[in-house]
A = this chain, B = another copy of it.
Amino acid sequence: MQVVFQITSGERDAQLSMLGQLNNLLNYTNERKTRIAIEVVVHGHAWNLLLPGGHPFPEKVSALHGQSVRFLICRNTLNSHQLAADQLLPFVEVVPAAIAHLVERQQAGWAYIRC
């Protein structure tokens, strides 16, 4: 299984909901010994999900990364918020354009989940 999540919300509830969904999905695949590749594409207001300190959930995000979930941020989002990648959690990867990445993944056969 291969799936790419898209999150744009900066709100706590939406982010917690996605983190819960990721854990539920990993529990499902772990129980069935199913291989899964998961990416989370973060853009728009959701960039605060990837901050290392304080709000919102760096431990939860790091724990998911420890289970091989990849977290990707859009370069356009970094630029429009005057953020540098090194202000974010150290494992965050940068993609040139969030939507382009989501399109490419889907056209390569990945499933898509809009948070």
Which residues of chain A have a CB within 8 Å of any CB of chain B? 1-3, 6, 8, 17, 20-22, 24-25, 27-29, 44, 74, 76, 96-100, 102-104, 106-107, 109, 111-114
Q: A99-B113, A102-B113, A112-B112 known; A107 and B25 CB under 8 Å?
A: no
B8 lies within 8 A of A103 (CB): no
* Pairs A-B, 6 closest by C-beta atoms: A106-B111, A114-B114, A103-B111, A28-B97, A28-B100, A3-B103
Please, which residues of chain B bring their CB within 8 A of the CB of A104?
Answer: 1
B97 lies within 8 A of A24 (CB): yes
Cα of A20 to Cα of B98 in the assembled complex, Å:
11
